[in-house]
Structures are given as C-alpha cells and as structure tokens.
Amino acid sequence: MVNVIGLGYIGLPTALMMASHGVEVVGTDYNAELVDTLRGGKTTFKEDGLDELFRQAVDAGIKFTTEYQKTDTYIVSVPTPYDKFSKKVDACYVVAAVNDVLKVCPKGAVIVIESTISPGTIDKYVRPEIEKNGFKIGEDIHLVHAPERIIPGNMIYELLHNNRTIGADSREIGERIKNLYASFCQGEIVVTDIRTAEMTKVVENTFRAVNIAFANELAKICRHDNMDVYEIIRICNMHPRVNILQPGPGVGGHCISVDPWFLVGDYPNLAKVIDESMKTNDGMPDFVLNRIYEIMKETGLTDISRVGLYGLTYKENVDDMRESPTLQLLESQERHLATGLKVYDPYIKKDVVPNQYHDLDKFLDDVDMVVIMVGHEEIRNNISKLNEKIVLDTRAISLNQKKWFYL
Ligand code: SAJ
C-alpha cells in the first residue's frame, strides 16, 4: 500500500492516478476540511479530467484520512515555500511530514519526496532528521526523490505521458519505485542519484524562467523604440535553432516564479544570469502598470477606477492565483498609493481583492479600459464585447487589432 502525504495540486492527482491503475492507495492530509471534502466525493481544485479520474480512483478503493498509515511506501508531496528575503527553500513541511512518517513506519520503509526542493535539501535537512530519530538510512529507511513535472492545465495528460526522474541512494530501491510509477506513467523513467534528481527539477524550471525573461526583455527593448516584439519573435522563430517564448505581464505559479530563486539563494555569486532573469520577470507587473498610465495619458482617460484588469489567475484556464502577475500588479498599485483598479476573473468565485466583479458584462459596463492580464477562453470567445473599449492586451490574445495596445 502507498500512503500519499499531502493532497494538494501534486499529491491528489498522483494518488488518484496510482489508485486508478491498480495500486492500493491511502491519501493523508492534516487539513481535516480537505479530507472531508474528498470523502464527500468532491475534488478540491479544478483541472481537466480530474473529476473523472477521482471517480475511477474512488471506485478502485482509494481512501482519504488525516492519519499517517503503517505501510512500506510513502510519497511526500507537501508544499515547500521559500523565504522571500533569504531566497532559500523552507523545508519545514517536508521535515515535519518525514517526522510523522517515522512515528508509524515499519523497518525498511521507503520515503519518496515529490515536493520540489533545492539541491542538497535532502542531505541538509532530511537525512539528519532521520538519523536523529535513531534510524539507519539504507537499512531502516530508504530515501527517494521523485520530482513532479506536470503542468497545471494539462496535469492528467502529463502525468500519464511525461518522462520522469527518480533519485535514489541504491539502484535496487530506485528500480522498485520506478516500477511503482510505471504502473501509470507511459514516459521514460530515469533512475539516478538524489542530488542529481534535486538539481534537474530546479534547472528545468530555471531554464523556462530565463527564457521567459529573455522574451520579456525583448518586449521592453522593442517598446522603447516602438518596434513590434511579436512580429520580431515570430520571424526569429522561423530560424531552425531559435525558439523564443512569449512576453507577458509577469510570471506566476508556484514553480517558475519560485524555484530559480533557490539557486540564487544558494549560489549568489555564481547565479548571475538567473538572478537578473528573475528580477526582469518580477519587474513585469510594474512595467504593465506604467503602460496603463502611458495609455491613459495618450487616450485622455483620467479616472483609474474606469480601468479593469481581466484575469486574476497566474495563467489561462486554471483557477490557481499563486504569485499571479495581477496580484503583484495590485500590490504595486497600492505601493504607489493609486488604488481603484477594477478586477474580474471567471475562475475566481470568492472575493479576494477590492473592486472585484463576478460577471463579465457588469465588469465591462463599469470600465472604459480593459487590461487583459490572462488569456482565458472566455475572453478569447468574447472579443467583440471589447469593441468600444480601450484595450491593453498583455497576452497577445488577438494581435493586429488596430485600436488595441500591446506590451
Ligand atoms: N509564461 C510567460 N511566457 C511564456 C510562458 C509562460 O509569460 O512564454 C508565464 C505564464 O503565464 C505563467 C508562468 O510563466 O505566469 C509559468 O507558467 P508555465 O505554464 O510556463 O509553467 P507552470 O509554472 O504552470 O509549470 C511549470 C512547468 N515547468 C516547465 O515547463 C519547465 C511544469 O512542467 C512543472 O511541473 C511546474 O512548473 C512545477 O511544478 O515545477
């Protein structure tokens, strides 16, 4: 039996996937409300295909509880926040979960860490904790790091099809856990050591962060001299070895806007390109705020409360707001003592910020200028509703609109 600890964005789909592929699974989370929701037959976030997978897993007998189970295999997928000042990963939830596992697990159990951690975290924080409790690693407890790679919005497909990395101290344990993931994963599964697995995960997200920063920097350069960044990227990408990403209003989510800081925090004198890239991405919401003021001036709009931000999530068609560029922009607006922007997002049903709307038409009625911060399907399908508006399209959902403004 596999006990999955932490039933969030990664733990839940992973637990469901294993259960629906014949593995006996118990999911544990210390949040009793979350466990009650799952026991009541409901999922806790929106994701394509998640509800169906949930039903299959329930039919296959998955159980949810707040209790840690006595078993031979644990998968830890708890959050790993990072400290905004030191830029270092905070492994406290991982260490706490491992400690709780140690209280119940039998000799020889395998603890798989799926949570994203910075290189060296297992050596620095997890091994000492296990040894402190009197367990011998490699005999009483085996450690594995199996970082996830799935992308919100396409999680179920990617769980099934992505290649994966398993880091283990011994080949034998690595192969055993590889076989467990192979119960559902059709991609290639590479077995390596723990340190390498930790590093690959962070490097993958850093690669993307640096490439997004490059696109964002191009947008700034092109804006400075009134060149069309999208046309330039489109043409450059016709070169066989060039593949530039898209500029945007900033980078959100719990991965690409966070993980690369781990490298900056651990290697401040070495991670220069990464440091600058992160600063470039973090500066984008302010860049958008400046564009809003520029466009207001240009169009004669004086009342900031007639400007509306479309989208609160960190990217399109998900309900996840973590580190979202819109939230960053609103914070920046407050720092500039210029509040009043209106906000709307079809995926966010609760009131989370001031001046938030829950109906697209009402939102549009109350603003003269719309800033598209997220390219949800809803707005892509309703572009004609923007006909009379001043539009700043930061996501390039519809290029070449004569009256629109871009980054
Ligand atoms: N973004 C841009 N321009 C682009 C691409 C993305 O501005 O050209 C922005 C998005 O709008 C968003 C942010 O970057 O705000 C990140 O979005 P994303 O879709 O690139 O990635 P995430 O954060 O949803 O998921 C990433 C993925 N990592 C990589 O692609 C290397 C995913 O595979 C990881 O599993 C996930 O991080 C994670 O959990 O680490």
List, for residues 358-372, the tens digit of each pLDDT value.
Answer: 999 999 999 999 999
- Percent composition of the chain: helix, strand, coil (DSSP 3-state, to 5): 40, 15, 45
Q: Which residues of 283-302 are buried (b: 16+ CB within 10 A; e: fewer)?
A: bbbbbbbebbeebbeeeebe
Answer yes or no: is the C-beta of 281 below 6 A from any ligand 1 atom: no
Tokens of 349: 């049903």
Q: How confident is the model at residue 245 (pLDDT cuts 50, 70, 90)?
A: very high
Q: Which CATH class is domain 248-254+283-406?
A: alpha beta
For the chain, what are the domain ranges?
Answer: 2-193, 248-254+283-406
Catalytic residue from among 105, 185, 222, 255? 255
Q: How confident is the model at residue 220 (pLDDT cuts 50, 70, 90)?
A: very high
CA of 299 to the centre of ligand 1 (A): 34
What confidence score (pLDDT) does residue 334 get? 82
As a whole number, mean pLDDT of residues 3-21 equals 97
Task: Give the integer Cα–Cα distance in Å for 22 and 78.
Answer: 24
Environment class of residue 140 by beta-carbon count within 10 Å: exposed (0-12), middle (13-18) or buried (19+)? Answer: middle
Answer yes or no: is the C-beta of 78 below 6 A from any ligand 1 atom: no
Tokens of 232: 């330039």
Residue 336 has pLDDT above 80, yes or no: no
Task: Decide if 2-193 and 248-254+283-406 have a common fold.
Answer: yes
Q: Catalytic: 63?
A: no
Alpha-carbon dihedral 67, 185, 50, 48, rounded to 10 degrees? 150
As a whole number, mean pLDDT of residues 206-222 equals 98
Residue 337 has pLDDT above 80, yes or no: no
| Residue whose entry in the numeric block shows the structure tokens 């999530």 | 313
Q: Catalytic: 201?
A: yes
As a whole number, mean pLDDT of residues 380-399 equals 97
Q: Where are the beta strands (DSSP E) in 169-297?
A: 189-192
Answer yes or no: is the C-beta of 140 below 6 A from any ligand 1 atom: no
pLDDT digits (tens, 9 = 90+) for 247-297: 999 999 989 999 999 999 889 999 999 999 999 999 999 999 999 999 999
Nearest CA to ligand 1 atom 14: 251
CA of 395 to the centre of ligand 1 (A): 14
Tokens of 109: 């159990």
Q: The CATH number of 2-193 is which of 3.50.40.10, 3.40.50.300, 3.40.50.720, 1.20.1440.230?
A: 3.40.50.720
As a whole number, mean pLDDT of residues 6-11 equals 95
pLDDT digits (tens, 9 = 90+) for 76-86: 999 988 777 77
Q: Of 252, 250, 312, give the one whose Cα is nearest residue 281.
A: 250
CA of 374 to the centre of ligand 1 (A): 13
Does the pTM of the predicted model rise above 0.75?
yes
CA 359 from chain center: how many Å? 26
